[in-house]
Amino acid sequence: MQPPQFWHRPAGLLSTVLAPFGALYAMGTARRLARGTPLRLGVPVICVGNINAGGTGKTPTVVAIVQRLQAQGHTPHIVSRGYGGTVTDAVQVDERTHRAADVGDEPLLLSAFAPTWVSPDRTKGAQLAVQAGADAIVLDDGFQNPGLYKDLSLVVVDAARGFGNGKVIPAGPLREPMKTGLARADLLLSIGPNKAQTHFLDAWGAPPCPHLKGRLTPLQTGMDWQGSRVLAFAGIGHPQKFFATLKDLGAEVVKSEALEDHQPLSSALMARLENEAMLLGAQLVTTEKDATRLPDEFRAKVLTVPVRLEIEDWSALDDALTSLF
């Protein structure tokens, strides 16, 4: 489900009317965090979370942190709640047998980079990961979850959208007030091009914690997109960002289909998109995350554009990670 448009406009009548409900939501989050007794695992827990609801770039950030830890000689495991999956107990993701419908699309993608556990109870999943040999846990989301003690909390935000209208759900996109959340964060990562980064700082000011600036860069796969006619589809937090990436690569996006976040890619939907692409003389293309939800018969028919996180200056993150061991 795409977020309401008024969440990302200056506060108006609707957000003002809903503000009391946002205050109640914020109180509930604060109460849950205050009552929790976080478990210390004995290995570092690195939380990649957000204050906003919806996509901010957490998945490529998790991949980047995992790869930095692996380069330092560590054995990180990833723990996720498995949004959109059907599993009801802690399980290690196996890309050979699991589908996105079982464990969620993000964990299935992440399992290609490090052992990944899906568990509705993040604490149980993390404990199993430690038993399986993890010397660090990278928590995919969970910044507002009190179950585990976080040795390092990194909050991710889309630089272009920032914190929306600054209001808490349902009046705005925030899970908790910005100042409250950032007060608990060890690092803030804003993701976007230079213009968006400048806009972010102008709109929200310098954060109270070290601020990293990054961007998502398409991975070089040898594919020449220049002049390619494509029908692009994406069911992520902000599909327009993916369509813009394709245009920046030189592709001719003859049609773009913005789907709901995590929307199942049924055979009927894919058959319709395939027929439209044939009529337009276009190639079907989607994101790396969406590709995990493709029906088997369409996997060879759809191209993907993988992206990786590049950070302007890695030193603050590398220092923070090194200090944990």
Residue type, 24: L
Query: Is 59 annotated as contributing to ligand binding?
Result: yes
Query: Is 54 annotated as contributing to ligand binding?
Result: yes
Nearest to 237 by CA among 223, 216, 220: 216
From CA 255, how far away is CA 246, in angstroms rounded? 12
Query: Is 142 annotated as contributing to ligand binding?
Result: no
Longest pairwise C-alpha distance within the chain: 58
- Residues 6 or more apart whose Cβ sits within 8 Å of residue 169: 22, 25, 53, 175
Query: Is 58 annotated as contributing to ligand binding?
Result: yes
Q: What sign does the dihedral 259-262-263-267 (CA atoms) show?
A: positive
Structural element, H or E, at residue 191: strand 187-191
Query: Is 167 annotated as contributing to ligand binding?
Result: no
Residue 255 bridge partners (DSSP): 231
Paired sense of beta strands 91-92 and 211-218, if any: unpaired
From CA 302, how far away is CA 231, in angstroms rounded? 10
From CA 138, how far away is CA 135, in angstroms rounded? 10
Structural element, H or E, at residue 130: helix 122-131
Query: Is 85 annotated as contributing to ligand binding?
Result: no
From CA 32, how far away is CA 17, in angstroms rounded? 25
Binding residues for ATP: 52-59
Binding residues: 52-59
